[in-house]
Amino acid sequence: ERLDMLINIKHITNKRRKYGRFAKTQASKWLWEYFFCSSLNNITANIRGYNNLLDFYNEYIHYENVLFTLVEDHRDHVIHSVWVMLIGFYLMKKCRPLVNIEYDDVLVSLYRNHPEPINMVNTLKNIKNKELSLWFLITLTHDLGYPIQKTIEANRTMSKMIDNFGFLSQTEFSYRFDVIHSTAIDELLNTLSAHLYWINDVEYKVGYSSGFRLDYAKSFEALDHGIMSAYLLQKYIDHICEVMNVPQGINDYVFTDTNMAAIRALIITWLKAISAHTNDNVYWGSVNCMTPLLFICDELDEFSRYSHQIHTDQWLNVECETQFNCTRQSIEYKYTFRKKIDFNILSFFKAKISKIASRFDLARDGINKITITCIDNRKGRRHQKYYYEHRYTSPGLGFVKRYYGKTSDDVIGFIKGRVEL
């Protein structure tokens, strides 16, 4: 019933659009609670901290309503998280490269005599049994850290108003982590850079990659909302701390329990996926892992993203047609705009190139081609079609073109506004 409500609500006037968003938000809230609790229960009996996280989520929904009035063009993230969950669920059933999700970014064999140790194979089977629950947890929590980024913009709006009263001094709202938080931050970075290394058919160790740890440390320093979401989950969900309780400084300490190995891999993948989706230092050569899958689905949800234009008091729902095609060698995004709305398609196109182009490591044997197409078919507008293509053999970032217009290989110049098509 809630899912039908989320899908079928239609809007005609701006007033109905506003209250349609409210109804969809309430439906999404119910779906979020149901799928999150069910998925967590499917992975562990320890759901301590769930009620605290739920309290935060209710505050998160209220805070997003505040951001709609303070931050220009702030976009919905409550309804969005449910759509991303459903998009991924569909792709994992229908898109051939995504039917078989791999976990080789977490499970690693160091056993020279056997590339697939018996217990590693058994661990993977256990993970597969809980794969959908893992996906639901990833998608429903991937944007929980968003208020941290948007509070800075909201603060600027409030500061401009306060300045009008002529106060000699003004203390802006700010936040920083103290020394007491260093342990929690270090443990999060350890988890995000962790791998399970099999040393024989039965035993494995938990190890950490210093390079990945540094990549995520940079993201944490920038307060990217992906890693802030992971930090929040570590703070509230007791099961995460329980599972990642690994003895430090004992080189010969090994594990054998495949059930615990699977749970550790699930936790690492959960936090890594949501942290990676906003970390520009992380990129992929394939699509069939949870981390690129979240990124792909996050960029696909453009057919139901509400935003509020403060200066005109207009509620905008883009509702563009979104098409996606994916093979093991190529990724294709296509966005078609038919609805007559006050929306800058060219800015949208540039933003998509900026986000997508640098997140995949193109190579002959992996993904070797990315295309992004934006088509403007809105009534009363001149038909426009923008196209971006990047191949592994292309110099730089590929090329952009406007049909019946110009073509340019200066992609950065186009994004920055120095090049017009």
Cross-strand partners of 389: 371, 399
Measure the CA–CA gap between 196 and 216, rounded to whole angstroms.
Answer: 18
Q: What does the pLDDT read at residue 321? A: 83
Question: Who has greater pLDDT, 245 or 54?
Answer: 54
Q: What are the tens digits of pLDDT across the range 58-87?
A: 998 888 877 777 666 667 788 889 999 999
Q: What are the tens digits of pLDDT across the range 225-276?
A: 999 999 999 999 999 988 887 766 666 788 899 999 999 999 999 999 999 9
Q: Are strands 407-408 and 399-402 parallel, antiparallel or unpaired?
A: antiparallel
Type of residue numbered 342 = D
Helix (H, G, I), strand (E, B) or coil at 232: helix
Measure the CA–CA gap between 331 and 183, rounded to whole angstroms.
Answer: 40
Q: Distance from CA of residue 147 to its chain's centroid?
A: 15
Please report where in the chains the tokens 């103290």 appear, as a residue.
Answer: 178
Quote the mean pLDDT of the chain: 84
Type of residue numbered 378 = R
Instruction: Look up the pTM and report it.
Output: 0.88
- What are phi and psi for residue 26, nearest 5 degrees? -65, -40
Measure the CA–CA gap between 325 and 300, rounded to whole angstroms.
Answer: 11
Q: What are the tens digits of pLDDT across the range 27-41?
A: 888 999 999 999 999
Q: What are the tens digits of pLDDT across the range 147-196?
A: 887 777 767 767 777 777 766 556 666 666 665 577 788 999 999 999 99
Q: What does the pLDDT read at residue 357? A: 86
Q: What does the pLDDT read at residue 254? A: 87
Residue 333 is encoded by which pair of tokens?
């995004």
**Nearest residue to 87 via CA among 272, 296, 289, 274:** 296
> What is residue 368's DSSP assignment?
-
Type of residue numbered 207 = G
Q: Is the pLDDT of residue 410 over 80?
A: yes
Question: What is the largest distance, in Å, between two alpha-carbon atoms of the chain?
Answer: 75
**Nearest residue to 53 via CA among 217, 233, 273:** 233
Q: What does the pLDDT read at residue 251? A: 65
Please report where in the chains the tokens 């700010």 appear, as a residue.
Answer: 174
Please say whether the beta carbons of 144 and 138 come within 8 A.
no
Q: What does the pLDDT read at residue 277? A: 94
Confidence of residue 47 (pLDDT cuts 50, 70, 90): confident
Confidence of residue 14 (pLDDT cuts 50, 70, 90): very low
- What are phi and psi for residue 205, nearest 5 degrees? -120, 160
Q: What are the tens digits of pLDDT across the range 334-393?
A: 998 887 666 788 888 999 999 898 899 898 888 999 999 999 888 766 788 999 999 988
Cross-strand partners of 316: 307
Measure the CA–CA gap between 182 and 129, rounded to whole angstroms.
Answer: 35
Confidence of residue 16 (pLDDT cuts 50, 70, 90): very low
Q: Is the pLDDT of residue 10 over 50?
A: no
Q: What does the pLDDT read at residue 333? A: 93
Q: What does the pLDDT read at residue 313? A: 53
Please report where in the chains the tokens 């802030």 appear, as a residue.
Answer: 228
Confidence of residue 305 (pLDDT cuts 50, 70, 90): low
State the DSSP string of 127-170.
Answer: HHHTHHHHHHHHHHHTTTTHHHHHHHHHHHHHHHHHHTTT-S--
> What is residue 313's DSSP assignment?
T
Q: E strands of 200-340, at which residues?
A: 204-208, 306-309, 314-317, 321-326, 330-337
